Chain A
Amino acid sequence: GAVVSQHPSRVICKSGTSVKIECRSLDFQATTMFWYRQFPKKSLMLMATSNEGSKATYEQGVEKDKFLINHASLTLSTLTVTSAHPEDSSFYICSARVGSGNTGELFFGEGSRLTVL
């Protein structure tokens, strides 16, 4: 199957700093990628839809200035957590779609665990 890779897998930062997480589709091109946030023992919450060459679409309640998403190429989307605070600590997972429409299969990255001290 298709491979989606995230980097870094773990990151620890100080409060007030910014952190960038990369999501790459290794063997396919993805015009659309999705960013999820997963709290401990909770489900995945869709944060935003990342579209190559255009602005991301954010879900209700997600601060777009806080979570900057850039999809500069067909194989790379980045999520930048700006001015991170301890409450931003979470597991962030990206996914990319192979194919088009609703039946295109989603492949998920390994996730990135952010800890803000």
Chain B
Amino acid sequence: AQSVTQPDIHITVSEGASLELRCNYSYGATPYLFWYVQSPGQGLQLLLKYFSGDTLVQGIKGFEAEFKRSQSSFNLRKPSVHWSDAAEYFCAVGITGGGNKLTFGTGTQLKVEL
């Protein structure tokens, strides 16, 4: 079965600094990969997704992620963090034939220091 690991439970960065959130997955074939953001008490918003093609994908709010098959990773990056980026970030994996059933990582809580 597929699985997702987000090694960092909490990350704190200063506003304006760069950000990288780690995500590693386990799946035998090429997965579908997603990053979602969740603000307190809210549902999830899709930041970006990877299905195939260019391994560097651009998302909303200035986020990007790179799929590295050799490392089974799909790390999320942002060059300059804004205070409004403080939230919980979830990496998720979907599988071929899985019908949109996603397996989520445990999330990374991002705090932004002003």
Contacts and interface: CB of A to CB of B under 8 A. Distances in A.
Contact of A49 (B42, B101, B107): B101
B43 A97 contact: no
A4 interface: yes
Interface residues of B, number: 25
Given A110-B42, A111-B42, A102 B100 contact: yes
Given A102-B32, A102-B94, A103-B51, A111 B43 contact: yes
Majority secondary structure of chain A interface residues (helix, strand, loop or mixed)? strand
Interface of B: 32, 36, 41-46, 49, 51, 90, 94-107
Given A44-B90, A111-B41, 17 more contacts: A4-B43, A6-B43, A32-B99, A41-B107, A42-B107, A43-B105, A43-B106, A46-B103, A93-B43, A102-B95, A102-B97, A104-B100, A105-B46, A107-B46, A108-B36, A109-B43, A110-B43
